[in-house]
Amino acid sequence: MSGGSRLCGTSYGTDSGRPPPPATSSDRSDLTGRSDHRTDRTDDDPVGPRPYRRAMDPVAPRHPGAAPVTWAPPAASGPPRAAPSPQRTVVLRRLRTTGLVLTAAFSSSVAMAYAVEDDALLIPFIAWMVGTALAVGLVVRHRFPVALALTASAAALLLPLDTFAALVALVGVVARRPLRVAVGCGTAVAVATGAALLRDHLRPDTATLLAATDPVTGEVDVLPGPGYVVIGVVLVAAAVGLGLLRRYRDEVRAAETGRIRQERVAAELRTEMTRQEERELIAREVHDTVAHQLSLVALHASSLRGGAPDTVAEGAESIREAADRARRELRDMVEMLRDPAPGTALQPAPVTLDDVPALLDTARQAGALIRSSVYVADAGYASLALTRAVYRLVQESLTNAVKHAPGAEVDITLHATPREGVRLRVTNSLTAAVDVADRGSGLAGMRERAALLGGTVDAGPRGDAFVVEATLPWVAATSPT
């Protein structure tokens, strides 16, 4: 590194070993990680960048280097399926219920008909009435599956009835009730099914439901006992299997609904976080830019009192330029806030470490007493997030010094290298008019900027001076500028 040269009270250092490559606009990114693809600067603009522009890029995260905050709905795993209309769903449900009711009524009627030979007519009639009531009860099988399964099982044990209604109700119990309840109801339905099959097996061959008569010889072939066992196991297993299948389908549907709800909540939280980040960015930019220009206006105005006529005209021109810069900054920000385009995000114009000398010279021209020492090595290899933070820290420190200690000398020392990071120290003497407690939100904004890069800011009175010390880690640019 070569030594620095004195210029307007400021010493500047360079690194002769690695000259920075030429700047490219596509490589520039600001504190929020956005890319600068154009410039809004015109020939009639004063020295310094314009503070705002609109960008359609995703809102950047708080920490540099992290991916931008974006969200998109999850991609479908297969071809899209059209959801059935509500009317069609209701019709299909009613048709299914009607079919089950008719089947249950027919099944109970058949069971009653085969029981007529063994019992008096009263018992089969009662069984038919109970079977018809159980068949109609299938209409409310989704609301009362346990009661229906247990009632139908008890009826099959006490009366010559089948267990079709109990098996249908068992499907709903397994699908929507706890495991203990499902096991209890399944046991009851299995016992009732076994009893109904055993009753049919013990009847005479001519009154057996599961039998076939040879039309030639007239002999009756009855299903053997193991066949009844197989039929009973198959019926109960089918009911349990359908219930488990429906339970799995309901769980998948509930999980999908929960996932969609969580994604909606997460999207709302991300939107709120994005808005909060933009509000904080707007607050920092307004304080660091507009407030700085207004402080320069006040400084120019104070220098006009008792001045010579030629200096009054020059000071008035300086006031006009500072006020015009503040007006343009506010106009740009208002235009950005009024833009209703979705995805629009606040993107301040980039600044570099090369803009720091111009910032100090502008303050000197306004009458500020500044003694500065600036040494920066490999400025072209520093990220725009780092350079912007350094620029705003210097700017806010000057604004505080001019506002709270007018007429006091400001001593600024800036040392930035890739090896040692960035060290900034701004000192101004305290005057009788200084109110240390009245510091506004400037220091809070400075600490926020430093924290975004993993740095710290320490500010406060030390003896007869107010000292601001900032330490930032060196953040290298992805592409040197």
pLDDT digits (tens, 9 = 90+) for 65-110: 444 444 444 444 445 555 567 788 888 889 999 999 999 999 888 8
**What is the CATH number assigned to the segment(s) 5-66+293-472?**
3.30.565.10
From 334, 409, 323, 426, select the one nearest 373 (Cα to Cα).
426
Checking if the pLDDT of 25 tops 50, the result is no
Looking at residue 28, the DSSP 8-state letter turns out to be -
Residue 172 has pLDDT above 50, yes or no: yes
User: Regarding predicted confidence, which is higher, 346 or 230?
Assistant: 230
> Is 447 or 23 the better-scoring residue by pLDDT?
447
CA distance 59 to 128: 72
What residues have CB less than 8 Å from 372, skipping those under 6 apart? 9, 10, 11, 360, 411, 412, 413, 414
At residue 50, the pLDDT reads 44
Q: Tokens 């193991």 identify what position?
A: 226
Question: Within its chain, how far is the Cα of 342 from the centroid?
Answer: 17
State pLDDT tens for residues 394-409.
Answer: 888 888 887 778 778 8
Question: Would you state the pLDDT for residue 86?
Answer: 78
Q: At 55, which helix (H) or strand (E)?
A: strand 53-55
Rounded to an integer, the average pLDDT of 173-181 is: 93
* Residue 350: per-residue pLDDT: 67
- Tell me: pLDDT of 233 over 90: yes
Question: What's the pLDDT score for residue 364?
Answer: 83
Would you list the DSSP string of 384-409? HHHHHHHHHHHHHHHHHHHHHSTT--
Q: Is the pLDDT of residue 285 over 70?
A: no
Q: What is the pLDDT of residues 112-159, one digit of tens each?
A: 777 765 556 778 788 888 999 999 999 999 999 999 999 999 999 998
Q: Which of 91-95, 219-223, 305-309 is the most confident on average?
A: 91-95
**What are the structure tokens assigned to 189, written together?**
């339905």
Q: For 451-475, what is each residue's pLDDT tens digit?
A: 888 999 999 888 889 999 999 999 8
Average of per-residue pLDDT across 366-393: 85
User: pLDDT value at position 336?
Assistant: 62
pLDDT at 43 over 60: no
Domain ranges of the chain: 5-66+293-472, 86-223
Give buried/exposed letters for 433-443 (b at 16+ CB in 10 A, else e). ebeeeeeeebb
Measured distance CA(259)–CA(152) in Å, rounded: 39
Altogether, the residues listed in the chain come to a count of 481
- Amino acid of residue 60: A
Q: Name residue 476's amino acid.
A: A
Q: Which helix (H) or strand (E) holds 468?
A: strand 465-472
Q: Report which of residues 303 and 170 the model is more confident about.
A: 170
pLDDT for 126: 86
Q: Which range among 360-374, 430-444, 460-474 shows the weakest confidence by mean pLDDT?
A: 430-444
Backbone angles phi, psi at 71, to 5 degrees: -150, 140
Q: Is 8 left (phi over 0), alpha (psi -120 to 50) or beta?
A: left
**Percent of the chain residues past pLDDT 70, beyond the cut:** 65
Q: Is 61 within 8 Å of 67 (Cβ atoms)?
A: yes
pLDDT at 1: 40
Residue 381: pLDDT over 60: yes
Question: Which of these ranges, 91-100, 250-259, 429-438, has the smallest mean pLDDT?
Answer: 429-438
Give the 3-state secondary structure of residue 422: strand
Residues 6+ apart with CB under 8 A from 421: 471, 472, 473, 474
pLDDT at 3 over 90: no
Rounded CA separation 277/308 (Å): 48
